[in-house]
Amino acid sequence: MYNRKIRGPLVEGNKTLSQISKEILNPMETTPGLWWYIAFGISLIAALFGFYAIYITVSKGIGTWGVNNSVGWGWEIVNFVWWIGIGHAGTAFSIFLLILRQKWRTSINRAAEAMTVIAVMSAALFPALHMGRVWLAFYIFPYPNTRGPLWVNFNSPLFWDFIAITAYLLISISFWYLGMLPDFATIRDRTTSKIKKAIYGFFGMGWTGSSLHWIRYESLSFILGGIAAVLVVSVHSIVSTDFAVGIIPGWHTTLFPPYFVVGAIFSGFAMVMTLMVIVRKIYKLTEYVTDNHMDAIARILVFISLIMGTAYSTEVFIAWYSGNEYEMFTFFRNRITGEYTIQFWGMIICNALVPQLFWIKKVRRSWIGLLLVSLIINLGMWFERFNIVITSLSKDYLPSNWVSYNPTYIEVGVYAGTLGLFAAGVLLFFRYIPIMAISEVKSVVNIGDKKED
Amino acid sequence: MNKAFKIGIFENEEKFISSIKSLQEKHFSIYDVYTPYPIHEVFHLLKRKSRLPTAAYFFGLFAIIAVLAFLYYTSVLDWPIVYGGKPFNSFPSFIVVTIVLTIFTVTIASLAAFSARSGLYPGKENTIFDHRSTDDKFVIVVNTDTLDNLESGKLVTLMQEEGAVEVLDKEYESINA
């Protein structure tokens, strides 16, 4: 049930159906402005720096990183969890809102899913590099091998992580691609260029929009949506068990799975917001992604921010309440005070306090406000992962093991590289794939007007 | 023999639906309809049903059994190893792998079933009755092979009365669908 009178139209400006096709395909049909080439150039430079860092890492080994015997997981795992978190948005956004029948997802889900796919690919790079000998990465596949056959450890969260992320990536791509079928057909049938017709016709898989195609398409979307929703929750729970099963102060807690899942959705929604603020501004799509859409995301963010705040305080409270001196030390002497205060308080301020600005309508309605707060949340979520990974490892049970950790420029380079790849991927997405699910936007253009709604 | 079709093109969803209704009342059999987005009323009117959910259920059932059997085979029969004193068949920790791989199998198998059943795969070229149906037009296609001229005429008039902006007459040697 969507009450148009209260919540406003989902697509503004009384558009006709062909106008919708035209306006959404506009970024693909026109040559992009200078900004696109500049942005793409910068991302490629960052990506090249990343490739250089990866080259050094692979050819010389992970000794070129700042990790050491105590802090065995450095920026790589921080960034891995950060990217995976961002990669949760697309599916969380698209699928949770699909199965909850929230029609306002239609103009945002495509971009969110694109973001997911690219972010998960960036994320997957880190554990692969962290193996050290990346050319032996295929050992992790459970296949009949000449080593016994020796199978992998199916009880290990690290293996669970591997299959969860591989499955998540492939399923996200499938779901994304399925959504694109009708839109590729639209491009195929509208375009006058022969090359485009051939390419989009090939990938459009002969879609005609017949009633049989549509009913199967819809039922497949719900099947994939329903089961992938389980996956969204399970992937980040599994990532959290990488930590939670480790007997390290600050990690060994049952709070971790929900805390990680909510955190992932938080950072993902923030990244969706960052992206949408920019997209609707640059491509002048404010009539499709209306102020009400942004408002809805902002409300979700402020709600999740409260959950995050609760999780942070629960952690600290339990550390004190448990009476465990190692937990007490980690939280009170190594996070709240001590060497890593910047990261801890950065996390609290960015994730729990700043998003509270979204209670104010003016902030929710101003693009600058939305952009700034969403960027701050992304920064805060990075601090959170740093806080979890580094502070716990740097000072554990034996003071003789205590060390500090600082990243080397190689580690920074790999991170910059993934940022570059992400940006480049998103920019290519703007040009070659419809930014919004055209057919879905068409289906909601009159929503709330008809009797059945 | 060529197949002949009358193709009614509508600009408006309501007129399109009411036209389907009156065609059915007059017992014209509709070959198929083509729309830019899914319309649930059309599914009810044309009695379209999908058995994909049932198929997906069985894919899932198969996957659960297959994955658990695989884990049992590798960890208990083929090469048992003690990890941290846990039993070989440590069922609770197999659940995670089972859930993820079941979801994965259901996704891939359902996609394959969708592709096979609908005849959609990369590079497939299906007959498109009217190119505007993926953009902004609602299209009703009726096969007129079994109709005589009088009935075909009635069909055209009926669609025009119901608000079709155009009624096209097309013949195809064969239909790809």
According to DSSP, the residues that pair with B3 across neighbouring strands are B172
The answer to whether B114 contacts A228, with C-beta atoms less than 8 Å apart, is: no
Most B CBs within 10 Å: which of A160, A186, A208, as the mutation test of the B interface? A208
Same domain, B139 and B95: no
- To 10 degrees, what angle do helices B91-118 and A157-190 make? 10
Same domain? For B87 and B108 the reply is: yes
R_g of chain B, CA atoms, integer Å:
25
Asked if B61 contacts B161 with a C-beta cutoff of 8 angstroms, the reply is no
User: What Cα–Cα distance (Å) separates residue A74 from each residue in A158, A334, A388, A441, B91?
Assistant: 16, 17, 11, 43, 33
Q: Give the Cβ contact number of residue B85 at 10 Å.
A: 5
Q: For residue B85, what are its two tokens?
A: 């004193």
Q: Single out the residue of A17, A110, A90, A18 nearest to residue A434, CA to CA.
A: A110
Closest among A18, A29, A16, A12 to A435, alpha carbons compared:
A29
Measured in whole angstroms, how far is the alpha carbon of residue B91 from the centre of its chain?
A: 38
Q: Which of B118, B136, B164 is the last residue of a domain?
A: B118
User: Which residues, 6+ apart, have CB-to-CB distance to B116 below 8 Å?
Assistant: none
Q: How far apart are the C-alpha atoms of B154 and B164, rounded to whole Å?
A: 14
Closest alpha carbon to A119 in A81, A92, A161, A93: A81
Inter-residue contact A74 to A65 (CB < 8 Å): yes
Pick the CATH number of A4-444 from 3.40.50.1440, 1.20.1630.10, 1.10.3720.10, 3.90.180.10: 1.20.1630.10
B 129-148 near A (Cβ less than 8 A):
129, 131-136
C-beta atoms surrounding A282 within 10 Å: 15
Does residue B138 lie within any of the structural domains? yes
Q: How far apart are CA B87 and CA A263, in angstroms?
A: 34
Contact B48 A215 (CB under 8 A): yes
Same domain, B59 and B113: yes
Plot region of A440 (φ>0 → left; ψ -120 to 50 → alpha; else → beta): alpha
Chain A residues closer than 8 Å to B127 by CB: 208
Residues B60 and B40 in one domain: no
Q: Which of B78, B95, B118 is the last residue of a domain?
A: B118
Contact, B158 vs B22, CB < 8 A? yes
- Are A208 and B177 a contacting pair at CB < 8 A? yes
Across the interface, whether the CB atoms of A211 and B43 are under 8 A apart is answered: yes
Strand, coil or helix: what is A32?
A: coil
Nearest CB partner across the interface for A211, out of B33, B108, B124: B33
Residue B1 has a pLDDT of 60
For residue A159 the two structure tokens come to: 């293996």
Query: Under 8 Å CB-to-CB from B108, ≥6 apart: which residues?
Result: A170, A174
Residue B26 covered by a domain:
yes
Cβ A86 vs Cβ A120: under 8 Å? no
- B99, B118, B137: which is the final residue of a domain? B118
What are the domain boundaries of chain A?
4-444
CB spacing of A181 vs B120 below 8 angstroms: yes
**Are residues B112 and B62 both part of a single domain?**
yes
At A452 the pLDDT is 47
Alpha carbons A140 and A133: distance in angstroms, whole number = 12
- Quick one: which of A299, A325, A292 has its CA closest to A447? A292
CB pairs under 8 A between A and B: 188
Name chain B contacts of A155, Cβ cutoff 8 Å.
83-84, 86, 90, 93-94
For B154, the domain range is 3-49+125-172
Of the candidates A411, A236, A146, the one whose C-alpha atom is nearest the C-alpha of residue A138 is A146
Distances (CA, A) of B26 to A420, A450, B4, B139: 62, 27, 20, 18
Q: How far apart are CA A277 and CA A294, in angstroms?
A: 8
What does A316-364 look like in DSSP terms, one character per residue? HHHHHHH--HHHHIIIIIIIISSTTHHHHHHHIIIIIIGGGGGGSHHHH
Give me the residues of B, 19-58, that contact A with CB < 8 A: 32-43, 46, 48-50, 52-53, 56
Are B79 and B112 contained in the same domain? Answer: yes
Is residue B115 less than 8 Å (CB to CB) from chain A?
yes
Closest alpha carbon within chain A to B48: A212
DSSP string, A65-104: SS--SS--S-HHHHHHHHHHHHHHHHHIIIIIHHHTT-GG
Report which secondary-structure segment, H or E, holds A132: none
Task: Give the per-residue pLDDT at B53.
Answer: 93
Q: In what order do the strands lie in the sheet with B138-143?
A: B30-34, B138-143, B3-10, B166-172
Give the pLDDT of residue B5: 87
What are the pLDDT tens digits along chain A (453 aa)?
567 777 777 888 778 888 888 888 888 888 888 999 999 999 999 999 999 999 999 999 989 999 998 899 989 999 999 999 998 877 888 888 888 888 888 888 899 999 999 999 999 999 999 988 899 888 888 888 888 788 888 888 889 999 999 999 999 999 999 999 999 999 998 888 899 889 998 998 989 888 999 999 999 999 998 888 888 889 989 999 989 988 898 899 889 999 999 999 999 999 999 999 998 888 888 888 888 889 989 999 999 999 999 999 999 999 999 989 999 999 999 899 988 999 999 999 999 999 999 999 999 999 999 999 999 999 999 999 999 999 999 998 888 989 989 899 999 999 999 999 999 999 999 999 998 888 888 888 876 665 444
With CB atoms and an 8 Å threshold, state whether A214 touches B121: no
This prediction's pTM: 0.92
The list of chain B residues with pLDDT below 50 reads none
pLDDT of amino acid B136: 86
What does the DSSP 8-state code read for residue A134? G
